Amino acid sequence: MSIDSNSIEASHLVLSGTISGTGQSEITSSVRLTPGRYTLRLSPFVGTTVLERSDDNGSTWHVPSFPNGQANSFSGAFMLHIEELEPGTRYRWNTSAYTSGGSWRLARG
């Protein structure tokens, strides 16, 4: 069975996975987020990673900043609330340093 990842939209979902090394790993590879509020948690984690966002189906990736203008870069466990306004958005990790851990969870609500 194959899934057309461009046709799936998530209105109620929980996704989870792991970061297991350096490089990019997509969080939303099989779904496209619908507008709404999401909670993203990464724990435990020892390394450095950046959360990237694409609004053009993965052709380009951008590093969203926090409301205070600071770019997101994480070097330990964290929890983040995301208010997504655009349908079809994709997210991924871009990890530049990895030591251990890396379990993540994205949930709508």
pLDDT at 20: 93
Residue type, 54: S
- Mean per-residue pLDDT over the chain, rounded: 86
What's the pTM?
0.84
The pLDDT tens digits for 76-105 are 999 999 999 999 899 999 999 999 999 999
Rounded distance, CA 31 to CA 78, Å? 23
The pLDDT tens digits for 15-66 are 999 999 999 999 988 788 889 999 999 999 999 999 999 999 999 999 998 8
Among 50, 70, 69, residue whose Cα is nearest residue 61: 50
User: Domains of the chain by range and CATH?
Assistant: 9-108 (2.60.120)
